[in-house]
Amino acid sequence: MKGILDGIRVVDLARFVAGPYCAMLLGDMGAEVIKVEKPGGDEQRHMDPKVDDLSTYYIVGNRNKKSLTLNFKSEEGKKILTKLFETTDVVVENFRPGVMERLGFGYEDLKKINPRIILTSVSGFGQDGPLAQKPAFDSIAQAMGGLMATTGTGGPTLAGTWVGDYSAGLYAAFGTMLALYARQTTGVGQHIDVALLDSVASWSRTAIPDFLMFGKKPTRNGGRDVYHCPIGPFETKDGYVYITAATDAQYAGVCRAAGHPEWLQDDRMNKEAVRLKNKDLVNSSLEAWTKTVTTQEALQKISAEDCPCAPINDIEGVLNNEQTKYREMYSWVETDKGFKVAVPGIVVKLSDTPGYIRCAPPSVGNYNDEFYTGLGYTPEQIREMYEKKII
């Protein structure tokens, strides 16, 4: 099977989450992704829990890649990396700004090696600006980008996943695709600069115009929505159900499901504008009903009225969901050492050139023999490079 990016070579110099995730997305669509790791392998491989040298942390961002070990801070390593860049389309990196330049592989240097090369840089705060040199991880971006201030019900709360990392990885993959498209016309590559802070701030929804135009700041509302009512989690006999009645028609359906058509005649609850003003009354009235039924009963009644609702799943519920299974949102794959590992599925479904999982995350240096032999190194020379910790 060929993917839309078949024939594109990506060199992944990145670590942690955002950069590797970007490179993996390109690999899912057919690109050859060579993950360059330090001798002994990326430190993320060895975090618990793990299978052999593959931690779950490493697994989720490194399928569809080949592993090449190389100390590219050494003179011999730099020569080898330069040779690799001659036939590379995209380089993905997430070092602190300036590191690539100090290594001799900044974008201006890469253009001299290969004018068609695209450099995709992911960092905490971007390649320039007053904060560019500050260290950052996802949590810092969530705090500084405004997400943490609007999450939770009490104090500022970290989101349940690496929102900054994954959104930056998505933006980086999107930018890379745009650069590949532009290269078809220009014949030359370009430098892509994606910041975690920018990525988190971009998800602020209407908060930016709300504040700049009306001086209004968003508040922490937990599971409730500030623009529509009723929207949120409602307690049932045996758990919770999430209900989204964003329109008057959907609210009417909820009223029928609850057996309270009189709510539609109540001037405090019959229109969206007044429901927002009286949200405590609306929410408490609805929850008084949901507490009398099980989660499944609530779902059946509300779904019958074509109103959006859902169970609040933990990860077991997510993976057992019939739609998740149908959409193939997880797979079991076999590593090159024969271990079975679980990986997330591919989100983007293309009708004619779909992405696909060609291989599990690689064992350390599984591409070494093929690559270095192809460069003309003898087995003795390769063994010597191992001994000198060049590879």
Within a domain: residue 58?
yes
Q: What is the distance between the alpha carbons of residues 213 and 97, in angstroms, rounded to a whole number? A: 34
Domain boundary among 291, 312, 333: 312
Taking only the tens place, the pLDDT of each residue in 130-151 is: 999 999 999 999 999 999 999 9
On whether both 96 and 172 belong to a single domain, the answer is: yes
Choosing from 53, 165, 193, 198, the catalytic residue is: 165
pLDDT at 373 over 90: yes
On whether both 161 and 278 belong to a single domain, the answer is: no
**Alpha helices of the chain — where are they, by DSSP H?**
18-28, 56-59, 75-85, 99-103, 107-113, 138-144, 163-186, 196-202, 207-214, 248-258, 272-277, 279-290, 295-304, 315-320, 322-326, 368-374, 379-387
210 is known as an active-site residue: no
User: What's the pTM value of the predicted model, to 2 decimals?
Assistant: 0.94
pLDDT at 361 over 80: yes
Domain CATH code at residue 332: 3.40.50.10540
Q: What's the pLDDT score for residue 154? A: 86
The larger pLDDT score, comparing residue 154 to residue 118, is at: 118
Confidence grade of residue 2 (pLDDT, cut at 50, 70, 90) = confident
Within a domain: residue 319?
no
Q: What is the distance between the alpha carbons of residues 129 and 42, in angstroms, rounded to a whole number? A: 29
Taking only the tens place, the pLDDT of each residue in 170-182 is: 999 999 999 999 9
Within a domain: residue 345?
yes
pLDDT at 161 over 90: yes
Q: Which helix (H) or strand (E) holds 118?
A: strand 118-123
Within a domain: residue 247?
yes
On whether both 363 and 283 belong to a single domain, the answer is: no
Number of domains, the chain: 2
Q: Tell me the residue range of the domain where 184 lies.
A: 9-203+325-387
Q: Which helix (H) or strand (E) holds 93?
A: strand 90-93
On whether both 159 and 282 belong to a single domain, the answer is: no
Confidence grade of residue 366 (pLDDT, cut at 50, 70, 90) = very high
On whether both 241 and 139 belong to a single domain, the answer is: no
The pLDDT > 70 percentage for the chain reads 100
Domain CATH code at residue 243: 3.30.1540.10
Average pLDDT over residues 304-317: 96
Domain boundary among 283, 312, 341: 312
Q: What's the pLDDT score for residue 1? A: 75
Average pLDDT over residues 319-337: 96
Backbone angles phi, psi at 12, to 5 degrees: -100, 105
Secondary structure letter of residue 57 according to DSSP = H
